[in-house]
């Protein structure tokens, strides 16, 4: 057993400190101290063989981290496995001039009482094996595990936070609240922290990270291993355009969905102007509706999304609660709490698994809602389609008269309030219908459209659903036919084409 301590004033943004580990150790416990709460300082621990063993962000969370040879005793931001002897390195990143302190202890046998963490209580699912030389990888996570059988709309949330970064909910509380909200799944997207374990529960939790920087945030949904987003990376990591480009490409190579978060919400709007739209899979159109600037930001995002589609970039539109609060808390200017699953993102899957949810997002089989539940029957020719579908082949080779070529759409909307539904065609409202909420609970409102088939060109259609005051209640992803080769386009070019200002 050995102990160590450091207390330094940071001279540069990132500094390294040695930790000597003796032979025969089974664990290392490390506690960090910073001048203020929620300092957003970062910490990384590299073992004697240069493998990353934890990544930490000081968002107000527990500052105790345990790395243990056994996964059940390892912190949920750390990798279990051998505690090999030699020189380990503690990497700390904080603003120059700031005071940082760290104390650590290594040992074998049971963990002393001061190192017992509430985060590790109860049964958990472990996502990393901690195999030697495997790296910071979630090699035990089962992406194909079927949590529910059956083809249907599964309800979820793609933007959540816990005490592992700057949220107030523990991992267990998030999973329990998701059940109360009727969710089938959610993605864990703490800021610049990749979880390695999670309390067992009935709701599917998909690994992810919110890559968070001063000029914008994006979610890596379905991330399988840590990426080097540090500012000390050779290309500057998340602090530079080059670094962000690399991170998006690496995430995509892992099979993750790259999604820009709250792109029009000041001061967190996306400002990496040279980001190529070809590196993005989806856009978070609707972020926490209980935060008062977000309704206007969501309307701007809808406009931006329409311009994307008109340019041939078929990005999927999703939502995210981005909830950081306890269910009992709310913003001062809102009478509703900020909750996980508000808004909810519904994904059509053949069954519920992490793999099928992510694939559903890639294919645009998605709608987003604050309440209304949708069922859609979309038919062109003899075929039926779902949101996100390419209908181009509907009349291929058919000899039906041109005037019989129609797209028929029936929407069944279960809503507690009166609704106005707009059919958006190539970014413009083509037609709209209004309907009163059904008198009987659970009874759907039925609306029908007959849309003339356009033989020439590229056409897409989505539905925006609002209340009588015009406030957004739900939107669908488009169906489309025809083709338009997307031209290379950067984010700044998109903003210019949309004639929108983020700032």
Mean pLDDT of all residues in 69-94: 97
Task: Flag whether pLDDT at 9 surpasses 60.
Answer: yes
Give the residue from 171, 215, 216 showing the smallest Cα distance to 189. Answer: 171
**Predicted pLDDT at 196:** 98
Mean of all residue pLDDT scores within the chain? 95
Task: Flag whether pLDDT at 442 surpasses 90.
Answer: no
- Assign domain 2-109 one CATH number from 1.10.260.40, 1.10.10.10, 1.20.140.10, 2.60.120.380: 2.60.120.380
**Predicted pLDDT at 133:** 81
Mean pLDDT of all residues in 131-152: 95
Between β-strands 27-34 and 99-107, what pairing exists: parallel, antiparallel or unpaired? antiparallel
Mean pLDDT of all residues in 6-35: 96
**Predicted pLDDT at 397:** 66
Task: Flag whether pLDDT at 401 surpasses 90.
Answer: no
Q: Give CATH 2.60.120.380 domain extents, the chain.
A: 2-109
CB 403 within 8 A of CB 438: no
pLDDT band for 37, please (50, 70, 90 cuts): confident
CB 17 within 8 A of CB 87: no
d(C-alpha 99, C-alpha 102), whole Å: 10
**What residues contact residue 414 under an 8 Å CB cut-off, 6+ apart?**
372, 373, 374, 438, 442, 443, 444, 445
SS (HEC) of 272-289:
CCCCEHHHCCEEEEEECC
d(C-alpha 452, C-alpha 158), whole Å: 35
Per CATH, which fold does 148-392+404-498 belong to? Answer: TIM Barrel (3.20.20)
Among 17-21, 238-242, 358-362, 497-501, which stretch is predicted with the lowest mean pLDDT? 497-501
Extract the tokens encoding 298. 């969501």
Mean pLDDT of all residues in 166-186: 97
**Predicted pLDDT at 486:** 94
Long-range residue pairs from 134-139, CB within 8 A, at least 24 positions apart, any chain? 134/51, 134/81, 135/51, 135/52, 135/225, 135/226, 136/51, 136/52, 136/53, 136/55, 136/79, 136/194, 136/225, 136/226, 137/224, 137/225, 137/226, 138/194, 138/196, 138/207, 138/223, 138/224, 138/225
- pTM for the full model? 0.96
Q: Give CATH 3.20.20.140 domain extents, the chain.
A: 148-392+404-498
CB 199 within 8 A of CB 123: yes
Task: Flag whether pLDDT at 503 surpasses 50.
Answer: no
Question: Could you tell me what percent of the chain has a pLDDT over 90?
Answer: 90
**Predicted pLDDT at 187:** 99
Residue 312 neighbours by CB distance under 10 Å? 16
CB 85 within 8 A of CB 25: yes
Mean pLDDT of all residues in 305-309: 98
Task: Flag whether pLDDT at 120 surpasses 90.
Answer: no
**Predicted pLDDT at 399:** 52
pLDDT band for 500, please (50, 70, 90 cuts): confident
**Predicted pLDDT at 266:** 96
**Predicted pLDDT at 502:** 55
Give the residue from 53, 200, 42 showing the smallest Cα distance to 133. Answer: 53
């Amino acid at each position: 057993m050995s102990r160590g301590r450091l207390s330094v004033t940071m001279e540069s943004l990132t500094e390294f400190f040695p930790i000597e580990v003796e032979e025969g150790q089974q664990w290392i416990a490390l506690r960090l101290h910073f001048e203020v709460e929620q300092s957003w300082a970062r910490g990384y621990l590299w073992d004697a063989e240069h493998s990353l063993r934890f990544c930490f962000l000081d968002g107000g969370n527990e500052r105790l981290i345990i790395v243990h040879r056994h996964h059940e005793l390892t912190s949920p931001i750390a990798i279990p496995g051998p505690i090999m002897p030699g020189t380990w390195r503690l990497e700390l990143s904080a603003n120059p001039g700031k005071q940082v302190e760290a104390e650590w202890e290594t040992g074998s046998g049971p963990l002393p009482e001061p190192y017992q963490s509430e985060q590790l209580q109860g049964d958990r699912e472990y996502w990393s094996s901690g195999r030697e030389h495997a790296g910071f990888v979630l090699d035990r996570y089962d992406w194909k595990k079927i949590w529910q059988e059956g083809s249907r709309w599964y309800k979820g949330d793609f933007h959540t936070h816990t005490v592992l970064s700057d949220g107030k909910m523990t991992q267990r509380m998030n999973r329990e609240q998701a059940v109360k909200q009727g969710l089938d799944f959610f993605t864990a997207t703490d800021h610049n922290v990749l979880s390695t374990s999670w309390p067992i529960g009935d709701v599917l939790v998909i690994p992810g990270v919110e890559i968070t920087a001063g000029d914008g945030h994006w979610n890596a949904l379905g991330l399988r291993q840590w990426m080097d987003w540090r500012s000390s990376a050779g290309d500057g990591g998340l602090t530079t355009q080059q670094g962000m480009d690399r991170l998006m490409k690496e995430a995509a190579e892992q099979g993750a969905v790259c999604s820009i978060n709250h792109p029009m919400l000041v001061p967190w709007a996306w400002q990496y102007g040279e980001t190529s739209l070809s590196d993005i899979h989806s856009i978070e159109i609707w972020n926490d509706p209980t935060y008062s600037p977000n309704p206007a930001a969501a309307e701007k995002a809808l406009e931006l999304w329409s311009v994307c589609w008109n340019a041939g970039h078929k990005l999927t539109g999703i939502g995210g609660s981005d909830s950081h609060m306890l269910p009992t808390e709310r913003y001062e200017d809102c009478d509703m709490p900020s909750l996980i699953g508000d808004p909810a993102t519904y994904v059509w899957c053949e069954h519920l698994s992490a793999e099928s949810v992510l694939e559903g997002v890639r294919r645009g089989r998605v709608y987003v809602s604050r309440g209304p539940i949708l069922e859609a029957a979309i038919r062109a020719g003899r075929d039926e389609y779902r949101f996100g579908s390419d209908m181009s082949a509907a009349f291929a080779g058919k000899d039906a008269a041109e005037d019989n070529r129609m797209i028929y759409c029936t929407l069944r909307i279960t809503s507690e309030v009166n609704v106005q539904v707009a059919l958006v065609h190539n970014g413009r409202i083509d037609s709209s219908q209004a309907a009163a909420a059904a008198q009987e609970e659970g009874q759907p409102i039925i609306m029908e459209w007959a849309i003339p088939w356009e033989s020439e060109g590229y056409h897409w259609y989505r539905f925006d659903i609002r209340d009588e005051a015009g406030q957004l209640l739900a939107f669908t992803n488009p169906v489309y036919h025809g083709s338009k080769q997307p031209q290379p386009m950067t984010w700044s070019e998109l903003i210019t084409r949309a004639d929108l200002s983020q700032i």
